[in-house]
Structure 1
Amino acid sequence: MEKIIEIRGLKKAFGKTQALSDVSFDVSKGEIVGFIGPNGSGKSTTIRILLGLIKADEGRASIFGQDVWDEAVDIHKRVAYVPGDVSLWPNLTGGEVIDLFLSMRGQKVDKQRKEELIKKFEFNPTKKCRSYSTGNRQKVALIAAFAADADVYIFDEPTAGLDPLQERIFQEQAREVQQRGASVLLSSHILSEVEQLCDTVAIIRQGEIVEAGSMNELRHLTRTQIVMKTNEKVPSLEEQDFAHDVSREKGEIIFQLDSDKMPEFLHFIAPYHVTKLESAPPKLEDLFMRHYESTKGGV
């Protein structure tokens, strides 16, 4: 697939604080990539480098094959960006700010598209920005971004302050721009949002990418929860290398199964006359916590 965003070996320090030590991943054309990690892990620093706001100490990053620092002006003509905390001009109305953002792109404004988005996000564009809540300030930026005819959308915690219904509208719009061929980089710590929306994920911890790949690929790295009942006792389950955290409650056996060991597990339990067998697919949260349960925080 055509690579739209390419990041290789980014490093960035602020004084003695190493914000990024090794960040590498790609975003392909028409792909939604989840960029996840807790606050302070290096997500926003990476995005600021992509936007040409700060320069990396080492490594390289490009969008559309253009260097993000040297050719930032040309890149920005085709990129829409929404930060996690939007600041607006207090004396302008929300509608005026949306129009201003769109006019700065130098493109013809699709007024019908803009009005549709205002309606979908249930936004009142006539109020002064000083009166807007955090969620309404986010709506201004989201409406302006989705109304733009961009090839890349970069979102840094874009649903801050939005209610669940508005979060769903955001997800629908992200899928819509994806369907027309745009690429999306979504930085978020809301794992359920990333899991529902993204094709691939990159997990960052303390300035390093610790896991990256498609959702299907990464699910193989997590464990499936198994709940089962059998007619006969299964005395040696704890001794099997595919079973983890085995517990027995109310006649049920509950444990974590290595996802790639399912055939081995089914062969093992066949003689025990299984009467109940339930499996819960691995979640992105399981993979995420695997990397953070022993080491927390970051810079």
Structure 2
Amino acid sequence: MPAIECRSLTKYYGDVRGIEDVSFTVEDGEVFGFLGPNGAGKTTAIRTLLGFLSPTSGGAALLGHDATDPGESRAARERIGYLPGDPGLDEDRTAEAFLDHQAALRGSGSREALVARFGLDESRRIGDLSRGNRQKVALVAAFMHDPDLLLLDEPTSGLDPLLQEEFAALVRERVVDGASVLLSSHVLGEVAALCDRVGVLREGRLAAVESVEDLRSRGGKQVRVRVAEDVSRGAFEVRGAMNLRVGDTVSFTWTGGYDALIDLLDGFTVHDLEIVDAPLEEAFMTFYDGDVPGPGRRDDARGARGTEASAPASGTGTDPEKTDADGGDR
């Protein structure tokens, strides 16, 4: 049984598309990435999966529970760790009081270890904490009851590089222990380092579901070559060569086959040649050329953001079905 099964999930805010016809699965022990820029629909998809937003159509299951049934959705959330994109923590509480409340709701088997690991000072009032320290509080809350499934929305926002590495190590440890993870991000390096497969969201629609390896291969190869001859730009303006730069060294992104590349270079005396994977950004941008047809297209990614930034962290005591009624679009 998949940890997550999403079936043609659709959420509209009036006539504005949040997500449309989104289908994917997250297998047990898998880290699945939602990749897309702000406004692509990542947060809407996660909040609809969790039952915080009612879908316009379609369905989903979390850990075998029907995500569209309020009772079953609540039962599933007891085994889920959720980190919102903006946790919206109660600023008047101390971190300790907030985590005590979370522990009363779901348990706290790993709390002490996580507090020490992230260097969190629980005695401080949340309103006095920096953005990074608030994120630490939310991370401890999401992980401390050792959930079977983690839904993490932009989880490293505000964390310094060392803590980002610590977070990545924590995710890998939990997966080894049997947890499954859905992680949304617009940071390509984070997705490449952690995820087994990636769903690329584009304006609310799932453009592709691919392994990170296949996604990277879509970007082609980065070629740098130095030859003995004087080179004209026209000599390398051939099918398969993109982002061409001609100087003492010729560089380009190659999206064709190796035989065609060898034929291209065969006419030159090659002094130096380097061929490496193109940056993941090259692959990512192949999904963002041209327009997505259909109603509700948002030229301004802020178009339907609503009040989602104020959404509470899981278990803050606010009824999630009553929050964020007009939703968001991240």
TM-score (norm 2): 0.82
Is it true that 1:25 corresponds to 2:24 in the alignment? Answer: yes
The secondary structure found in structure 2 opposite 1:34 is: strand
* CA shift for structure 1 position 116: 2.2
Is it true that 1:101 corresponds to 2:102 in the alignment? Answer: yes
Q: Supply the distance in 2 between the matched residues of 1:271 and 1:173 (Cα, whole angstroms).
A: 51
* CA shift for structure 1 position 89: 2.9
Contact 1:87–1:137 (Cα < 8 Å) also in 2: no
* CA shift for structure 1 position 273: 3.5
**Which letter maps to 2:287?**
H
Query: Superposition pairs for residues 1-299 of structure 1, below 5 Å?
Result: 2-70=1-69, 71-105=72-106, 107=107, 109-110=108-109, 113-232=110-229, 237-238=235-236, 240-250=238-248, 252-258=249-255, 261-270=257-266, 272-295=268-291, 298=301
* CA shift for structure 1 position 92: 2.7
Contact 2:217–2:277 (Cα < 8 Å) also in 1: no
Contact 1:37–1:188 (Cα < 8 Å) also in 2: yes
The secondary structure found in structure 1 opposite 2:272 is: strand
Over 3 Å counting, the alpha-carbon distance change for 1:68 and 1:31 in structure 2 is: same
* CA shift for structure 1 position 239: 5.4
Contact 1:51–1:68 (Cα < 8 Å) also in 2: yes
Unaligned runs of 5+ in 2: 292-298, 302-328
Unaligned runs of 5+ in 1: none
Deviates more, 1:125-134 or 1:75-84: 125-134
Over 3 Å counting, the alpha-carbon distance change for 1:135 and 1:62 in structure 2 is: same
Deviates more, 1:233-242 or 1:202-211: 233-242
Q: Supply the distance in 2 between the matched residues of 1:220 and 1:160 (Cα, whole angstroms).
A: 28
Contact 2:219–2:284 (Cα < 8 Å) also in 1: no
Q: Supply the distance in 2 between the matched residues of 1:62 and 1:263 (Cα, whole angstroms).
A: 46
Q: Supply the distance in 2 between the matched residues of 1:86 and 1:137 (Cα, whole angstroms).
A: 8
The secondary structure found in structure 2 opposite 1:140 is: helix
2:294 corresponds in structure 1 to none
TM-score (norm 1): 0.90
Greater relative contact order (Cα 8 A, min sep 6): structure 1 or 2? 2
Q: Supply the distance in 1 between the matched residues of 2:188 and 2:102 (Cα, whole angstroms).
A: 30
Q: Supply the distance in 1 between the matched residues of 2:181 and 2:300 (Cα, whole angstroms).
A: 26
Q: Supply the distance in 1 between the matched residues of 2:265 and 2:158 (Cα, whole angstroms).
A: 48
Q: Supply the distance in 1 between the matched residues of 2:245 and 2:202 (Cα, whole angstroms).
A: 31
* CA shift for structure 1 position 57: 1.1
* CA shift for structure 1 position 173: 0.8
Contact 1:38–1:297 (Cα < 8 Å) also in 2: no
Q: How many residues matched?
A: 292
* CA shift for structure 1 position 32: 1.0
The secondary structure found in structure 1 opposite 2:218 is: coil
Contact 1:30–1:183 (Cα < 8 Å) also in 2: yes
Q: Supply the distance in 1 between the matched residues of 2:257 and 2:103 (Cα, whole angstroms).
A: 52
The secondary structure found in structure 2 opposite 1:272 is: coil
Deviates more, 1:3-12 or 1:90-99: 90-99
Contact 2:135–2:157 (Cα < 8 Å) also in 1: yes
1:246-266 Cα shifts (integer Å, max 9, x gaps): 33112x2211111x6124323
The secondary structure found in structure 2 opposite 1:3 is: coil
**Percent identity at matched positions?**
36
Contact 2:224–2:250 (Cα < 8 Å) also in 1: yes
Q: Supply the distance in 2 between the matched residues of 1:130 and 1:244 (Cα, whole angstroms).
A: 49
